[in-house]
Amino acid sequence: MIEEYLNRLKRALIKKGIPEADDIVQYFDEIIEDRIEQGEDLEEVLRDLGEPEQIVKAFGGKEETDKKEKHTDETDHTRSVYYGIRTIKITNTSYDFEILRSPDETTVFECESDDDTMMHEQVGDTLNIEQDFPFYGQGVNILQKMFHGSFNGGDVTLYVPDGCTMLMDNVSGDIEVQGLRLDQLNIDSVSGDLELEDVAAQNMKINTVSGDIEMDDIVVEETMKIDAVNGDYDGDRISCKNIIMNSVNGDIDIGLNARRDQVDVKATSLFHEKTSGGGHCDHKLRIDTVNGDISYHFLTD
């Protein structure tokens, strides 16, 4: 009887296009077994849980817009689930982004905004997310607002599946990235701050003008390239064998997951002190600044 019930549940979930069907069935299987173990009658348990078709209604499914969550202050909430995404391209001006790891192979885009300017669309295996910024006819005010960060417009939460490539162009939004396992990660930011935590990628390229970069627990298999003009870079527990950092004014402070004797360091600064050392090791750290301070430390330092 349990199997019949669970099969019905699974079919109903698949019919509704819910990607985690197996997970959900396992979850209910566990709960049913637990309740029986606690002495409840199987028939009563199944009756209490309800018809599988009813349960499935609580689980959402394909493209979903929470119309009932539209408040009188005109805040829009949208949530879209995408399948088969391998590349994500983001062009953002002012929204703040929280980019997290998807627990499965779906890509989920959630957006809360009061100006409805963030477009999102799947083209093949690419997800394009672009802010349609109302530049025209507004003159210098727009640029001033952007750089003073008083344009919010909205918040995006994005769940990204493993193995994707993410290319992001950002102006002033603050970007938080956590837990991702990517192929390629490129972020170009102007004044928005970037915070990366527990991120792994084959290759990473980060560019910032005045936004600060903070990263902890990062693993890059091939090359990590960081370019900053004014923004400061603060990194800790970084695992990468080929790190290239360039800064004009920004300070660089990096903590590596490698021993001092494993890393070949070349750190030069035009106006500040130069350091180098390590000889020929399999880890390379190259830091070049004009005016920024440089500080690096290793395991057991």
Partner 1 sequence: MEVQLKRGSLEVCVLASLLKEDSYGYKIIQSLQEVVEISESTLYPILRRLEASNCLKSYSVEHNGRLRKFYSITEKGKDKIKEYLQDFQELMNIFNYIAKEVRKDD
Q: Can residue 26 be called a binding residue for partner 1 (CB under 8 A)?
A: yes
Q: In the structure encoding, which two tokens stand for residue 228, read together? A: 């900053």
Cβ proximity to partner 1, 98 vs 116, nearer residue: 98
Of 34-42, 129-137, 162-170, 210-218, which segment contacts partner 1 by CB under 8 A?
A: 34-42
Cβ proximity to partner 1, 49 vs 142, nearer residue: 49
Q: Can residue 14 be called a binding residue for partner 1 (CB under 8 A)?
A: no
Nearest to 245 by CA among 299, 208, 193: 208
| Cα angle: 88, vertex 124, 84; to 5 degrees | 70
Cα–Cα dist 115/145, whole Å: 15
The site that binds partner 1 (CB under 8 A) totals a number of residues, namely 27
Q: Can residue 55 be called a binding residue for partner 1 (CB under 8 A)?
A: yes
Cα–Cα dist 45/37, whole Å: 11
Report, in Å, the least distance between residue 204 CB and partner 1: 20
What is the dihedral sign for C-alpha 208, 227, 102, 125? positive
Q: Which amino acid appears at position 31 of this protein?
A: I
Report, in Å, the least distance between residue 228 CB and partner 1: 27
Pairing of strands 263-269, 275-277: antiparallel
**Where are any strands of DSSP class E within 115-164?**
118-123, 126-131, 154-160
Report, in Å, the least distance between residue 158 CB and partner 1: 11
Report, in Å, the least distance between residue 275 CB and partner 1: 35
Q: Can residue 80 be called a binding residue for partner 1 (CB under 8 A)?
A: no
Report, in Å, the least distance between residue 292 CB and partner 1: 31
Cα–Cα dist 132/96, whole Å: 15
Q: Can residue 65 be called a binding residue for partner 1 (CB under 8 A)?
A: no
Footprint on this chain of partner 1 (rule: CB under 8 A): 20, 24, 26-31, 33-35, 37-38, 49, 55, 58-60, 68-69, 100-103, 159, 178-179
